[in-house]
Amino acid sequence: MVGDQRVEWLAYTTFFGAAAASIGGILFGWLSDRSRTRRPWIVAGLIGTLSLMMCVPLASRPFELLLLVVVWQLALNMMLGPLSAWAADHVPPGQLGSLGGLLALSPALGSVAGALVTLPGVADADERLVLVSLLVSCCVLPALLFARPMDGESADLGEDPAVLPPPPSLRVTAGMWVARFLVQISEATLFAYLYYYFHSIDPSRDAGWIARLFGIVLCTAVPAALLVGRWSDRRGRPLLPLVAGALTAAFALLLMALSSTPFEATAAYVMFGFATTIFLSLHSAQTLRVLRRTERRGRDLGFFNLTNTAPSLIIPWLTVAIVPVFGFAHLFLVLAALALAAALILFAIRSDLRPSAARS
């Protein structure tokens, strides 16, 4: 559509799409809080998401496509923001680790879906959009049809407030936000430039090899996340797996910085991808432990969603400032420092989120 300007237009679309996602997550989460119901927002977001996806083939100019992506991101977050808050309304604190393990299925199943719809001969470019729409519908409609409405319930599901631990302090909430933000920068940066990194070590590594490696890491991390999440529920240690995950990610990034052979680089990346997949999944669930105020949970989850979207605004500048001058090794050292900082932050607040029974 744009020829030699494709890189620039991809950057524009990514930037404004991330900005729209950031705004949409906060806005529609807040609106679902104010309306005291989640389901209508999820339905409207689902319809908007699917309808706008079907409009993609109609875009004939780059600005039209950019505008379509921006509006699509708003519709997508009209669905996802209230949907995340809806989960928090019904999952009790003692099962959040298990929920985090189940959330690890999301990127793995997304990777499988992407592989299926792009298999040669399955569908052309326009038909793939139809297949994706059907897959999204199959994933969201069961929740809309069978999950209970909010009806003012809290995440405590009727538990006696006298036996619940007090709400976390602003220090704990801010610590959870910053820790995820730091790890997310490391994960998103590596994901965006993984191909270039491996190609710099071994030019024979093509995009297909990278995609298969990425898929294998995601799929093998799912059962591990389920086991670790269940363990954290049983032991009442919600943040310990997050500390371990961030430390492992920092160590893996250090190994990638020191790697000189394709085998060493691959092994280090597998360690990093495994650790960050578990970390991000469990963190998403344990965030619900922090955001206990039902009347503003959707809005607050929107602010936490900034940890997923804001790195897209930072990564290009970080990479451009380091890689051309110092190379990938120095970039990985910076990312390792960020992951280590996240581990230290979570270690400092870990006791504040221990269930009262576990403390005694």
Does any domain span residue 88? yes
Last residue of a domain, one of 134, 155, 176: 155
Together in a domain, 87 and 193: no
- Among candidates 156, 157, 180, which has minimal Cα distance to 246? 180
Together in a domain, 125 and 267: no
- Among candidates 18, 25, 83, which has minimal Cα distance to 302? 25
Kindly tell me if the per-residue pLDDT of 355 is higher than 80.
no
SS (H, E, C) the chain: CCHHHHHHHHHHHHHHHHHHHHHHHHHHHHHHHHHCCCHHHHHHHHHHHHHHHHCHHHCCCHHHHHHHHHHHHHHHHHHHHHHHHHHHHHCCHHHHHHHHHHHCHHHHHHHHHHHHHCCCCCCCHHHHHHHHHHHHHHHHHHHHHHCCCCCCCCCCCCCCHHHCCCCCCHHHHHHHHHHHHHHHHHHHHHHHHHHHHHHHHCCCCCHHHHHHHHHHHHHHHHHHHHHHHHHHHHHCCCCHHHHHHHHHHHHHHHHHHHCCCHHHHHHHHHHHHHHHHHHHHHHHHHHHHHCCCHHHHHHHHHHHHHHHHCHHHHHHHHHHHHHHHHCHHHHHHHHHHHHHHHHHHHHHHHHHHCCHHHHC
Res. 148 pLDDT band, cuts 50 70 90: low
Last residue of a domain, one of 139, 155, 171: 155
Kindly report the CATH number assigned to the domain that includes residue 126.
1.20.1250
Together in a domain, 13 and 79: yes
What mean pLDDT do residues 151-171 have? 50
Give the angle subtended at the CA of 277 by the CAs of 7 and 166, to the nearest 5°: 120
Q: How many residues does the chain have?
A: 360
Together in a domain, 80 and 10: yes
Together in a domain, 235 and 177: yes
Does any domain span residue 360? no
Does any domain span residue 59? yes
Together in a domain, 168 and 149: no
Together in a domain, 56 and 178: no
Together in a domain, 28 and 120: yes
pLDDT digits (tens, 9 = 90+) for 80-129: 989 888 877 777 777 877 877 787 788 778 877 877 887 788 888 888 89
Kindly report the CATH number assigned to the domain that includes residue 242.
1.20.1250.20
Q: pLDDT value at position 152? A: 45
Q: Count structural domains, the chain.
A: 2
Lowest-pLDDT choice from 54-58, 80-84, 215-219: 215-219
> What is the domain range of residue 70?
3-93+101-155
pLDDT digits (tens, 9 = 90+) for 224-270: 888 988 888 888 888 899 999 999 999 999 999 998 888 999 999 99
Together in a domain, 338 and 193: yes
